Amino acid sequence: MATTLDKVDVVTVGAGWTGGIIAAEAAKAGLKVVSIERGRERGTEDYLRVHDEYRYAIRYELMQDLSKETVTFRNRRDQRALPMRTMGSFLLGEGLGGAGTHWNGHTWRFLPYDFEIKTMTEKKYGANKLGKEYQLQDWGITYDELEPYFDKFEYTAGISGDDKNPFAGKRSNPYPTPPMKKTPILEKFEKATSDLGYTPFMLPSANLSEAYTNPDGQTINACMYCGFCERFGCEYGAKTSPEITVIPTAKETGNFEVRFHSNVVEILHEGGKATGVRYINWMSGEEFIQPAETVVLTSYVMNNAKLLMVSDIGEMYDPETGRGTLGKNYCYQILPGATGFFDEQFNTFMGAGSLGMSIDDFNGDNFDHSDLDFIHGGSMSLTQTGVRPIASNPVPPDTPAWGAEFKKASIENYTRTLNIGTQGASMPHRDNYLTLDPKYKDAYGVPLLQLTYNFTDQDRALHKFITEKAVEIMEKMGAKQTVGSNPITDYDIVPYQTTHNTGGTIMGADPETSVVNNYLQHWDMDNLFVIGAGNFPHNGGYNPTGTVGALAYRCAEGIIKYSKEGGSLV
């Protein structure tokens, strides 16, 4: 039998970036906040021996335990979905800080075009540019409306950047810290792209170029360029993450508590209101009910959608009829690019997760799509993230996959290979969605989330176009051999791609087409909020974290307002 605990003002499900932002802002406003976190407590002192590639990058020390909960996957509705039993295409975070602990730190603002993509695309290219199977919709908020919240997140995180992207939305303030070091590798990319008529700029980074104290009084240290960012915590406290920023801010108020090793299995509700959450401490096996005035889902994309589904909140999306919104518009990203093999050697083993230069000339609608069979594009970057030896064996495509010749080529090319990568935008398609699996359950007896996803004609056309541009840049950089990304066919969940999953709990201006409003308040339950990249009606050409952070600050403002006035915020 579940133990019912004392009621609090706000309960969050998860203690990563979004949970931390909500906790910090609500606690500062005097609200009592509890975060339910399925993983353990951790901080910089836990990462002192973090430079262990096998433990963290190969065996996923910081990631979700898939033996307890995973997702099932299929490409098409007529296939049987099977469980993802090992981490692959994306990496689900767990523990204090969530995925914000093991991220690389790329911190972008989605383009103004992204927020009004349906309106702007139809105005310029007509209503039938992609076809009726693609479910484009505006976000219910504009870039200008969200800009103050972008600014707040960046100043909390101390983001390093150079303000030289001519395609970016207008900013109210410059980046709080200068850009990272412009290395010889980045200068090579800068010259090549400039000579081709493009406009390179330093990638906006949460690996800070200098020590910084944010408006809440939390200090973030300067990056040491050790090359251990993605899949690792930062022992220097130089990669901005929730456990060194918003979580300490929340704790200092005295109004915040985190419950660890606790997995929420249900949102409780009655009479059109959320009443709290039910969770299980998986170490003791005890079950608890945490009542709350306001419930906020701040876990990852997959879990936010799953909790709404198993709690029977909202109308499930039906791909046959197009009705319903919960689970709709799942999107991912595509990764066109090029690899260059050089005669000269580079210092590739030093770096940082967000040390890079980018161009946006082929992102969003920054170029004319009139004669192209796709929309949008992607940010193109050359990043110097640190080449670690186990997973980094770059060899030309005609090299054997093992043996003496492979070893020789791997050693030869370890410091002679550069990559241009693109985060290609993903457009929502009728047949890409999330639902509950009818067969498989997690360790708590709750159905697993089922993912139905495949690449589309839009994806393949975009991938081909951008890959050709990346090859052109790499050749301009002087590579002796350039290899473009292989054309994409069906999506494969096995190899790592990105942890930039979006959709399923999308936002908008109309309850008929979205799950939450532009304060991320659930249309059917005004004291329930859902925050994360699941709110994106489509995916863009960037990492989602900066935009998620901005949405979280707007949501926090809404939660505080709701605590005083109640009712719908729009």
Q: What is the pLDDT of residue 241?
A: 96
**Torsions phi, psi for 196 (to 5 deg):** -85, 0
Q: Mind listing the pLDDT tens digit for each residue in 403-424?
A: 999 999 999 999 999 999 999 9
Query: Looking at the predicted structure, is the pLDDT value of residue 46 above 90?
Result: no
Catalytic residue among 463, 500, 522, 538: 500
Find the mean pLDDT for residues 47-62.
87
* Rounded Cα–Cα distance for residues 333 and 423 (Å): 6
Spatial strand order of the sheet with 417-424 comes to 201-202, 356-359, 378-383, 417-424, 337-341, 481-484
In this prediction, residue 393 has a pLDDT band, given cuts at 50, 70 and 90, of confident
pLDDT of residue 48 exceeding 80: no
Tell me the mean pLDDT in the region 163-171: 97
β-pairing verdict for 33-36 and 8-13: parallel
Whether the predicted pLDDT of 47 surpasses 80: no
Under the banding of pLDDT at 50, 70 and 90, the label for residue 429 is: very high
Query: Tens of pLDDT along 507-559?
Result: 999 999 999 999 999 999 999 999 999 999 999 999 999 999 999 999 999 99
Tell me the two tokens of residue 351. 């770096």
pLDDT for residue 538: 98
pLDDT in tens, 241-276: 999 999 999 999 999 999 999 999 999 999 999 999
Nearest to 470 by CA among 374, 334, 319, 369: 334
Q: Which candidate, 108, 97, 85, 43, places its Cα nearest to that of 500? A: 108
Closest CA to 374 of 430, 454, 457, 453: 457
pLDDT bin (cut points 50, 70, 90) of residue 305 is very high
22 close to 307: Cβ distance less than 8 angstroms: no
SS3 8: strand
Nearest to 388 by CA among 208, 185, 184, 229: 229
The pLDDT confidence band at residue 392, using thresholds 50, 70 and 90, is confident
33: closest CA among 218, 298, 257, 192?
257
The token pair that represents 261 in the structure block: 């090793």
Identify the DSSP state of 303.
Answer: H
Q: Catalytic site residue 500?
A: yes
CA distances from 74 to 232, 305, 453, 491 (A): 30, 18, 7, 9
* Confidence at residue 44, expressed as pLDDT on a 0 to 100 scale: 78
Q: Is the pLDDT of residue 227 over 80?
A: yes
Give tens-digit pLDDT for 61-110: 999 999 999 999 999 999 999 999 999 999 999 999 999 999 999 999 99
**Nearest in space to 116 (alpha carbons), one of 133, 145, 141, 147:** 141
Phi, psi of 11 (to 5 degrees): -120, 130
Task: Quote the tokens at residue 251.
Answer: 């704790």
Whether residue 344 has pLDDT greater than 90: yes
Structure tokens at 410: 């791997």
- pLDDT of 181 above 90: yes
Across all residues in the chain, what is the average pLDDT? Answer: 96
DSSP SS3 for 229: coil
Q: How far apart are CA 425 and CA 322, in angstroms?
A: 22
Q: Which residues of 121-140 are buried (b: 16+ CB within 10 A; e: fewer)?
A: beeebeeebbeeebbbbbbb
HSE (side-chain half, CA atoms, 13 Å) at 31: 26
Please state, in angstroms and as integers, the Cα–Cα distance from residue 523 to each residue in 180, 520, 556, following that order.
42, 9, 17
Cα angle, residue 95 at apex, residues 93 and 101 outer, rounded to 5°:
60
pLDDT tier, 349 (very low <50, low <70, confident <90, very high otherwise): confident
Q: Do 34 and 11 form a contact (C-beta atoms < 8 A)?
A: yes
Residue 106: burial class (beta carbons within 10 Å; 0-12, 13-18, 19+): buried
The answer to whether 314 and 325 have CB atoms below 8 angstroms apart is yes
Burial level of 268, CB count in 10 A (0-12/13-18/19+)? middle
Distance, in Å, from the CA atom of 500 to the CA atom of 333, rounded to the nearest integer, reads 7
3-class state of residue 202 by DSSP: strand
pLDDT-derived band of residue 184, with 50, 70 and 90 as boundaries? very high
